[in-house]
Amino acid sequence: MRAKHLFSKVAVVAMIIGLFLAGCSSDDSNKSNNSEASSGDKVTIDIFQGKVEFKDQFEALAKQYEEKNPDVKINVKTVGGGTEYAPVLKSQFSSGDEPDIFNVTGPQDVIDYKKYLADMSDTEAAKAAIDGTLATVQDGDKILGLPFNQEGYGLIYNKRLFEEAGIKPEEILTFEDLEQAVEKLDSKKDELEIEAVFALPGKEAWVMGDHLANAFLAPEFDHDVMKAFESDTVKFERGKEMKRFLDLQNKYSVQPVLSLDYSQQVEEYFSLERVAMIQQGNWVYPSVEQMDPEVAENIGVLPIPVEGFEGSIPVGVPNYWAVNNNSDKEVVEASKKFLDWMYTSDEGKEAVLNELKFIPAYEGYDTEKISDPLSQDIYEYASEGKTIGWIFAGYPSNPWGTAVMGANAQQYLAGDMTWEELEKDAISKWEEKRK
């Protein structure tokens, strides 16, 4: 009797454990099916990417490629929003579930993932890449990644408001020009029905720490991201200019700046024409367009005035595609082919411009077809070589840009820190990291 009792208990427990294990194993069986398929007639490429904004368009592009190449299957997995991507990618690699195509962002990533990065120098896309866009991913003769696109930033301005105030944007080159224009706009605030000239998002450490500082630090490193990455120190040669420009934005901004964030800056203030100018990049275009298509048609980008580099704007590559060296040979080949197709075939180019709405980082694109006025402006600056380096990917990874420079700038704006203290602290933290 007792034995029977025990038996029934054991049976129940065995069943529970069985269910538990079955739940775990179903995943595995799927996977083995996949790899069987890839070793057979179909090649499966697993893409793991971090740009949420173009998730749907990119998936459609992959579908399009699959239709043309029935022997290739592409799985796209997107994890998004800047800082989210890096840790998930890392855990994927350390768990052994490695993607075939993934993203690297800066020199530190290239070093960390070096043993996984396949040489891409034999691809068409690498040959077509615009000069300078490959600096971060070059290792001797090897090219370890392909640029996504270019991005640029400056002072995005509202053309209608400038016109009504009688200001000619093309005449604004030096800091003095800008100051005059700002004062003029400020004096006509009521007529123009704006609240202030700028909306400075003091809440976003990256706007000041990464972008603003980048414009004034780039000349110090000869506009070369690798020089910044290898530098033991930062000198703030143009610290005074940086302060001057930040002060100007702060003085004529919607207050209080420290509680103003990115979405308020772009959507509430700029898109609704409550301010005339914001310091941002071409990525704001879709938001502005969503808020008010009419305003979006009427915006342009002004350079941040850096002495000696007037009329230039910071342009750079925020992200690179990398192919996993560890994958099967045919998968590596297929991955390269896909990226080549995406950036150099006619269909691919079409999609890059119209669907992904990129500013291409490759030669051979019809610039007229670039989707929005901001991107067109920036592509023009880039193709004329009027650029300031995009070096903040070479900052020490504290991350120095946001956690040190950005936070210090916030303290400066709050009045808790003088500019001298800001520089001193930023320099010592840079050096500390590079020891």
Size of the site for other proteins (CB under 8 A): 37
What the block records as the tokens of 411 is 């303290």
* Residues in 17-46 that interact with other proteins by CB under 8 A: 17, 20
Please identify which residue in 399, 419, 423, 426 interacts with other proteins, judged by CB under 8 A: 399
- Residue nearer to other proteins on the CB measure, 53 or 195: 195
204 CB-side CA count, 13 A? 18
- Could you give the 3-state DSSP secondary structure of residue 32? helix
Within 159-218, the residues that bind other proteins by CB under 8 A are 202-203, 205
Say whether residue 405 binds other proteins (CB under 8 A). Answer: no
For the record, the structure tokens of 424 come out as 């001193």
138-139 and 387-388 strand pairing: unpaired
Q: In what helix (H) or strand (E) does residue 64 lie, and over which residues does it extend?
A: helix 55-68
Site for other proteins in 86-145 (CB under 8 A): 86-87, 90-91, 93-94, 108, 112-113
Which phi and psi (to 5°) does residue 196 adopt?
-160, 175
Backbone conformation region of residue 426, classed left if phi is above 0, alpha if psi is from -120 to 50, else beta: alpha
CA–CA dist 198, 184 (Å, integer) = 13
For residue 302, give the H/E element and its range: strand 299-302
6 binds other proteins (CB under 8 A): yes
Q: How far is the CB of 253 from other proteins (least distance, A)?
A: 13
81 near other proteins, rule: CB under 8 A: no
Residue 188: alpha-carbon gap to chain centroid = 36
- How many other C-beta atoms are found inside a 10 Å radius of the C-beta of residue 421? 13
Q: Does 392 bind other proteins (CB under 8 A)?
A: no
Interface segment toward other proteins; rule CB under 8 A; list 14-22, 127-135, 152-160, 298-306:
14-22
Angle at Cα 36 formed by Cα 35 and Cα 42, nearest 5°?
A: 85
Q: Which is nearer to other proteins, 57 or 397 (CB)?
A: 397
Residue 52 makes contact with other proteins by CB under 8 A = no
Q: Contacting other proteins (CB under 8 A), which of 136, 231, 387, 410?
A: 410
Stretch that binds other proteins, among 185-193, 241-249, 366-374, 406-414 (CB under 8 A): 406-414
CB of 47 to other proteins, least distance (A): 20
Q: Which of the ranges 45-53, 257-265, 274-282, 384-392 carries the binding residues for other proteins, by CB under 8 A?
A: 257-265
Helix ranges (H only) for 171-304 are 175-187, 189-192, 205-206, 213-217, 225-230, 239-251, 262-263, 285-291, 293-296
Contact string (CB under 8 A) for other proteins, positions 273-312, x = contact: ----------------------------------------
Q: Are strands 320-323 and 146-147 parallel, antiparallel or unpaired?
A: antiparallel
Nearer to other proteins, 193 or 297 (CB): 193
The burial class, CB within 10 Å (0-12 / 13-18 / 19+), for 19 is exposed
Q: Does 227 bind other proteins (CB under 8 A)?
A: no
Residue 15 near other proteins by CB under 8 A: no
Residues that bind other proteins (CB under 8 A): 6, 9-10, 13, 16-17, 20, 83, 86-87, 90-91, 93-94, 108, 112-113, 202-203, 205, 255-259, 264, 397-399, 402-403, 407-408, 410-411, 414, 416
